[in-house]
Amino acid sequence: MKMVDNQRHYANKVRDTLLKRGIDVRCESVNLFDFLEVTKSISKIIVREKAEGNRIQMNMSAAGRLTSVAATLVGMHHDVQVYYVHADDYPDEPDKRQEHGLSICDSNKVTYLTNLKFDMPDPIGMNILAYLCEKEKKVNTRDLLGKLQELQVEGFQELFCDDIKLTDSDKHKDNQRRTLQSRQLMKLNKTILEKLEKKGYIRRERIGRNIYVSHTDTGKYVAYLSGLVK
């Protein structure tokens, strides 16, 4: 509880200092001890700020180690400027800690980090990973086709429908439906799922006549980096 109170104290102190300088501040609460939640929250903020056309710089040194690692990974993935502020001193006295925090940074010495390039899934693959994380269960390929239709991915805008009852006179339509179904399932598996599985982001398994897909732990981390997970 004391640690949470300290975090709130320092957050309010930073907010008030920025407001006095005429800088608009928006605070968002997150559990700083949950790596994935921190990753998701920062990613969503960056995606939102980019959509608004804002410039982004991120101080990865103004938090605990867990948060710093998450912030650095997120910043590099989204190609924003990440920097580290060097400390001039580390206060021992409680009063000084209340005033400055865990470190005193008077010289304003900053090191800008060079962003690494990660081999990440394409936007469609990212959306599929985010969808699997939101479902948090095994998803069959038909549901994935529905997601692709929702995203209006080329080749999946019009889906086959197994629920339609066809008469003998509709055999031509039935053949068309089966052809479309076969093409879409093949495209889903070959161009999307196979790539994700090779990277270790998903796993596929057959249950009865259906193929079910779920994310791996690595896939979950990648999805949370995307800023797409709700």
On whether the CB atoms of residues 121 and 222 are closer than 8 A, the answer is yes
Q: Residue 62 has what pLDDT?
A: 82
Which CATH number goes with the domain that contains 203? 1.10.10.10
Q: Residue 176 has what pLDDT?
A: 67
In a domain? residue 118: no
Q: Residue 1 has what pLDDT?
A: 64
Q: Residue 164 has what pLDDT?
A: 47
Which CATH number goes with the domain that contains 16? 3.40.50.10770
On whether the CB atoms of residues 182 and 198 are closer than 8 A, the answer is no
Q: Residue 161 has what pLDDT?
A: 57
In a domain? residue 10: yes
Residue at which a domain ends, from 112, 131, 152:
112
DSSP category for residue 137? S
Which secondary structure element, helix H or strand E, spans residue 13, and what is its range?
Answer: helix 2-20
Residues in contact with 211: Cβ distance below 8 Å, sequence separation at least 6, in sequence order:
140, 141, 189, 204, 205
In a domain? residue 117: no
Q: Residue 88 has what pLDDT?
A: 83
Domain span at 149: 123-226
What's the average pLDDT block by block, 10 residues per block, for the chain (230 residues)? 74 88 90 93 96 94 90 96 91 76 83 93 96 94 92 84 52 65 88 96 93 96 94
Q: Residue 91 has what pLDDT?
A: 81
Q: Residue 173 has what pLDDT?
A: 58
- Residue 17 token pair: 């200092």
Written as one string, the DSSP assignment of 157-199 is SS---TT----GGGHHHHHHHHHHHHHHHHHHIIIIIHHHHHT
